[in-house]
Chain A
Amino acid sequence: MKLPLLLAALLAAGSALGQPVKIGELNSYKVFPAFLEPYRKGMELALEEINAAGGAAGRRLELVIRDDGGTPGDAVRVAEELISREKVDVLMGTFASHVGLAVSNLAAQRKILFVASEPLTDKLVWDNGNRYTFRLRPSTYMQTAMLVPEAAKLNKRRWAIVYPNYEYGQSATASFKKLLAAAQPGVQFVAEQAPPLGKIDAGAVVQALIDAKPDAIFSSLFAADLQKFVREGNTRGLFTGVAVFNLLAGEPEYLDPLKDETPQGWWVTGYPWQAITTSEHTKFRDAYRKRWNDYPRQGSVVGYAAVYTVATAVRRAGSADTEKLVEAMKGLEMQTPFGPIVWRALDHQSTMGAYVGQLARKGSEGSMVNWRFADGARFLPSDGEVKALRKE
């Protein structure tokens, strides 16, 4: 009896003496490097700041970073490794929706906190929500909802929609149609194009949209698909006299490669990093530039805020015990470069917002103008709807 007791005491003492809180971060670094390289830099910056300030609850934070291979199966294996070999206290990360869902599902099974930083799927906190999963970024629904007021204001009748043919594009489209139809009765959706992700046949898609003679277009394209679409659309004159709304296109990751193709006047969600002058953002931007000699991208903010989330939760829980952390996460209030956020107890969604604005081009650089901050808290369905979805 004596020996186990002694061991237990020793272990307890060890943790009190500053055994680090281990964050198991897994992400598709090789599949989505454009977003995730800045993400990683954001995480590391946050980690350094937190540890320099004495850590959380008297313990240092440690990141154990893994590539999840971009597939749910590999991600689950990697997460298992983080849990059972690295004995991490928290899981964090993931990019693509299906990977996020798979890891969230594992987190519930293995009973470990999972801070899903990037995956956008609504299902993560609603249909498939569980006790252990919390999501940082504004979801597909929220970002779509942020664009709807502007869209409704224009009062365009004929809308065409283009989206990448997978869950993110499908749910963005469904949410947009539902919300816009509610905000603007009588609106018509005259064409829908769903090219395969990463393989848009831009010329044909643009021509098909021209044929539909829309007054406005809602797009959830991003990355290479967006660039192809924009170039073809510019050449073929699709965008002349047509209002265009595009999720995510204002994020530097997707906006910067457009350079002199940047379409003027598009309504987008994104991150005008040059122009935000709040003190919390300026502090973050300066620190980031100093540390990395580079400007922050959307990914940088997400990575940075994700690590701070864990630190804040540990502080509030006073421990890295999973159940205490989960309770601490509920209703957790904290500061981010985008301003204060709350982690909703109702559905484990953070109220992090996004910037909504219009694209503009100066020389061969694109940027966001006329932007405003859209607080995530204001773009969520009613509690009743959420509860019905969560089936808890």
Chain B
Amino acid sequence: MSYASVLIQFLNGLASASSLFLIAAGLSLIFGVTRVVNFAHGSLFMLGMYLAVALAPGVGFWLAVPLAALAVGAFGAVAESLLLRRLYRAPELLQLLATFALVLVIKDFALWAWGPEDILGPRAPGLAGAVTIAGQRFPAYDLFLIALGPAVLGTLWFLLKRTRWGMLVRAATQDRDMASALGVNQKGLFTAVFGLGALLAGLGGALQIPREPATLGVDLQVISDAFVVVVVGGLGSIPGAFLAALLIGEIKSFCIGLGFSKLTLVAEFVVMAAVLVLRPWGLLGKVRAEVRGAGALEPPLRLPSRGALLGLAALFAALALLPALHAGYTLVLLTDVLLFALFAVSLHFIMGPGGLHSFGHAAYFGLGAYGAGLLVHKASASMGAALLAGPWLAALGAAAFGWFCVRLSGVYLAMLTLAFAQITWSIAFQWDAVTGGSNGIVGIWPSPWLSGKTAYYYLTLAACAAGIALLWRVCYSPFGYALRAGRDSPLRADAIGIDVRALQWAAFTFAGFFAGLAGALYAFSKGSISPETLSIPRSVDGLVMVLLGGIQTLTGPVWGAALLTWLQDAVARGVDYWRAVIGGVILALVLAFPQGAAGFLRERFAR
């Protein structure tokens, strides 16, 4: 690279950093104060883009940008006050489920309102051309963006440090309970912060339209970038977000400049994993007061009543008898339901009793699938051998990643699991020679005697029922109790001789094994695998299943898996805007039963 191109790539990095910062700042602000992991932040960004593209022809670009930002801000405030406000006392992460539902609804809304085609916005009037820097042409608009980043940082700094409102925000970020005790009006503050965060996301989106088209896929692309920046910078730290945006913008820019463009697929996640391992609170983040008493308390785990056991046995018997009555597609769907149930139960095992919130559980599902697939494909192993051995690859992966993950807690842990999952994904995606790259591996079918739908269904039923039963049983064992003890009070657990980390590590690996078993079963049921089996959406599906069913119940994940799989199947078949319908159903369920479906039923019948 010549000096000129180093300079230009540096400026490119700065321009990207400004864009990243705008969206990450809002996310960080929202998380800092409300502790909501706002999955819909990328959707707000996308709304900002579409609104600006739609408004620009009428009112001009420079007016369209602030109008779009304000509109998105107003939408955010309304969404907070109508939806999220009702959920702050629900079990942790339920707000995340609600924001995920918003993602689905907003995506279909955008499709309905603006149609399927990409819309390339206008260039910014006055800054449409290029300026010559070091003999190279550089977009004038990018210079504007480079200046805007620090300007927004300065404005936010002033707002937070020099105004009374900002003082309240900072107080709430430091210690929400203390702020509340001091008489801060939490409701108003939360709404305002959410609105401001949404406004920043909308602004970030609107400002992108001279650089990229408004597309329906941008929401999910942006959200993972934003998470990374926020976590690397330190949750709740605006200057941290700025620094992290700079870091990641420059790293990507120079990866490309130096000819390592393939690394950009995963660079940010490698950075995030490294930061979380070496400096868990982020570059400029602070160790913060835990939120005390937030969320609903989990009731003690009672041994299931005879009736409940009989019910489960009857369910199992019904599932076992079903093929005698019906041998069609229902068996295919139930096979999916069963293995996703095992996947969800394994995730719940670490999330519920373990208190380890994993956003990257698909990594182990996928490793199990790839383990089995590779054994069949590369080593010509029999199906039985592959099914038995595949999950061990998942367990191995879980043991390796888990060793780092259990050293963290809360959202940091969740983000590290996500980073590891993305790194695994990118290896599967790019290691053509072994994994088949983006196409994956095809031709992984069960042995002939198991290849019929009915036979494979029985295999899945037996394996999943056994796996689920074992995971549940372990919850009642001394190990399960010790795990919950470590979650409830690490201090007390330590003081009565419990090695919390070792237990959590073991639990992580154990759960990884069963996720891998589900993945291996999945591979043989589909006949092929691709990197999609360890992608973020698969992890999110697992989360949704657990949260939908109710994280505080044992059986919840099974119902959640059944409900989501059935919804995805039935609604996608019958309805055009099926994503919005699923989002709507999730929202309705979340608002009606904040404890999850199974939790609701338990509460009803416990009285």
Contacts and interface: CB of A to CB of B under 8 A. Distances in A.
A255 to B, nearest CB: 11
Contacts of A128: 442-443
Contacts of A67: 572-573, 578
Interface residues of A, number: 67
Contact of B129 (A235, A259, A261): A235
B437 A208 contact: no
A258 B526 CA distance: 39
Contact of A193 (B116, B129, B256, B453): B256
B5 interface: yes
A39 B447 CA distance: 38
B217 interface: yes
A205 B261 contact: yes
A78 to B, nearest CB: 8
A281 interface: no
Contacts of A71: 530, 532, 537
A156 interface: no
B530 A77 contact: no
Given A207-B8, A207-B9, A236-B136, A231 B527 contact: no
Contact of A170 (B9, B120, B432, B527): B432
Contacts of B1: 211
A170 B440 CA distance: 14
Interface in A63-84: 66-67, 69, 71-74, 76-78, 80-81, 84
A203 B142 contact: yes
Given A78-B573, A194-B262, 13 more contacts: A36-B116, A72-B526, A80-B453, A101-B440, A106-B528, A128-B442, A192-B259, A196-B264, A207-B8, A210-B5, A236-B130, A257-B118, A261-B120
B408 to A, nearest CB: 27
Contacts of A33: 111, 116-117, 216
A350 to B, nearest CB: 21
A257 B213 contact: yes
Contacts of B12: 201, 203-204, 207
B252 interface: yes
Contacts of A76: 525-528
A220 interface: no
A224 interface: yes
B442 A224 contact: no
Given A34-B117, A165-B430, A259-B120, A102 B332 contact: no
B318 to A, nearest CB: 20
Given A73-B532, A97-B439, A167-B438, A204 B253 contact: yes
27 contacts: A30-B579, A34-B117, A36-B116, A67-B573, A69-B568, A72-B532, A73-B526, A74-B568, A76-B526, A76-B528, A81-B569, A84-B332, A85-B329, A101-B528, A121-B439, A165-B262, A167-B439, A192-B261, A195-B256, A199-B221, A199-B264, A202-B212, A203-B142, A207-B8, A224-B213, A228-B212, A256-B117
Interface core residue of B213, B215, B252 (most chain A CB under 10 Å): B213
Interface string A197-220: 011011111011011000000000
Interface string A105-141: 1100100000000000101000010000000000000
A191 interface: yes
A62 interface: no
A166 interface: yes
Interface in B131-181: 136-139, 142
B325 to A, nearest CB: 15
Interface of A: 30-31, 33-34, 36-37, 66-67, 69, 71-74, 76-78, 80-81, 84-85, 97-98, 101-102, 104-106, 109, 121, 123, 128, 165-167, 170, 191-196, 198-199, 201-205, 207-208, 210-211, 223-224, 227-228, 231-232, 235-237, 253, 256-259, 261
A339 to B, nearest CB: 28
B286 interface: no
Contacts of B443: 105, 128
Contact of A237 (B5, B8, B15, B137): B137
Contact of B120 (A121, A231, A235, A237): A231
Contact of B442 (A69, A85, A105): A105
Contacts of B332: 77, 80-81, 84
Contact of A208 (B211, B256, B453, B579): B256
A34 B533 CA distance: 25
A211 B5 contact: yes
A101 B439 contact: yes
B437 A167 contact: yes
Contact of B5 (A97, A207, A223, A235): A207
A214 B528 CA distance: 40
B119 interface: yes
B46 to A, nearest CB: 12
A52 to B, nearest CB: 25
A77 B336 contact: yes
Contacts of A258: 120
A231 B211 contact: yes
Contacts of B261: 165, 192-195, 205, 208
B453 to A, nearest CB: 7
A361 to B, nearest CB: 14
Nearest to A80: B332
B382 interface: no
Nearest to A85: B329
Given A84-B328, A224-B215, A257-B213, A98 B440 contact: yes
B527 A102 contact: yes
B291 interface: no
B451 interface: yes
A37 B120 contact: no
A109 B451 CA distance: 9
Given A76-B527, A224-B212, A237 B117 contact: no
Contact of B257 (A102, A170, A196, A211): A211
